[in-house]
Amino acid sequence: MNPESHCPLLPYNTFGIAARARALVRLRGLADLEALWADPSLREADKFILGGGSNIVLTGDVKPLVLKVEILGRRLVAETDRHWIVEAGAGESWHDFVAWTLEQGWPGLENMALIPGTVGAAPVQNIGAYGVEMQDRFHSLQAFDLRTGQTFTLEAAQCGFGYRDSVFKHVPPAPGGYGLAGCAVITHVQMALPKAWRPELGYLDLERKVAETGVQSPTPQQIFDWVCAIRRAKLPDPAVLGNAGSFFKNPTVTPEQCADIIARDPKVVHYPLHDGRIKLAAGWLIDACGWRGKTVGHAGVYEKQALVLVNRGNAQNPCTGGEVMTLARAIQTSVYERFGIRLEMEPVVV
């Protein structure tokens, strides 16, 4: 197995940052992982696992060996009384997989249409949108352990799913005893799609679509089309304007902290959670600090959604990961100074 050297990563990160991998191997199936394991120099090397590159900020050339996951394939694995169990290779495009399941007549993923990235990256950050998260439809995944050379299966309960979080984001040993960041390559993901399908229309933007169209009982395909339209209206298409989706997580606070902020900023957008805490809209906090539409160097804050940082550079004047991080830190500082809240970054900084 011969790694490609000095491989440009510009096409492989949706922020569109120019950086190179010192060495990169493409993984198209289990045989490639076994070949990697069989080569002592590759087996011992530090590694970085790259999916669709839609949740990373590259701050320089990548020194660890880059494993680019390109495992394809989609199939119905099993049908039970209650579910269709559908599998996709980790290198499949998430959105294409969602569209395909709907074409086959297996609904359930429509609220997560148009999320950039690959199927294999989806469980890593427990992707979610418009009221549905990966963990709500997840069945299991197969992965290759880079420490032992063995494949293994994880069920939902073993994945440590949380808000934009899973065991794959934690360096071993994580609190609770386990962490798999950098140690395992997800090869296949299986989703359990419910036969007793019900529309998930609780998110405000979808409630508005119901009101606008008068369609009270939309089909899965209609929800898919609505979600695509909502996303296209407020989120930049990475093919046109580089970005990594939401740049910060929505923070949670205690009711007392929230009351304190409301006393000063009555319009703060907040939602009660089941555990009694309150989620604040990070986009609103950033917007309230005046960042929406601002540009610093070649990195900017998207004018229609302040939670999204964008690449304002071009071929002659490229945006660097350093500029993105400078802007991100400036935003964190002003949100902290005004609201006393520390925003946590969502993408992985490499």
The residues of the shown chain that bind ligand EPU, judged by CB under 6 A, are 129-130, 203, 234-235, 245-246, 249-250, 269, 281, 283-284, 287, 292, 305-307, 346
Our CB check for ligand EPU shows the closer of 65 and 299 to be 299
Reported in sequence order, the residue ranges of the chain that DSSP labels E, i.e. its strands, are: 4-8, 20-27, 47-50, 56-57, 65-69, 74-79, 83-89, 128-129, 132-133, 138-145, 151-155, 184-194, 243-246, 252-253, 270-272, 278-280, 295-296, 299-301, 308-311, 348-349
Catalytic residue among 22, 277, 338, 346: 346
Query: Shortest Cβ distance from residue 301 to ligand EPU (Å)?
Result: 8
Our CB check for ligand EPU shows the closer of 188 and 312 to be 312
Query: Shortest Cβ distance from residue 265 to ligand EPU (Å)?
Result: 11
Scanning the chain, the segments in alpha helix (DSSP H) are 30-38, 40-44, 94-104, 134-137, 204-213, 220-234, 255-264, 282-288, 321-339
Catalytic residue among 54, 246, 292, 312: 246
Query: Shortest Cβ distance from residue 69 to ligand EPU (Å)?
Result: 19
Catalytic residue among 164, 231, 292, 312: 164
Query: Shortest Cβ distance from residue 148 to ligand EPU (Å)?
Result: 32
Query: What is the spatial distance between Cα 197 and Cα 17, in angstroms, rounded to a whole number?
Result: 40
346 is an active site residue: yes
Whether the link from the prior residue into 251 is cis, omega within 30° of 0, is: no
323 is an active site residue: no
Q: Which is nearest to 314 in space by CA: 300, 327, 304? A: 300
Tell me the catalytic residues: 164, 246, 346
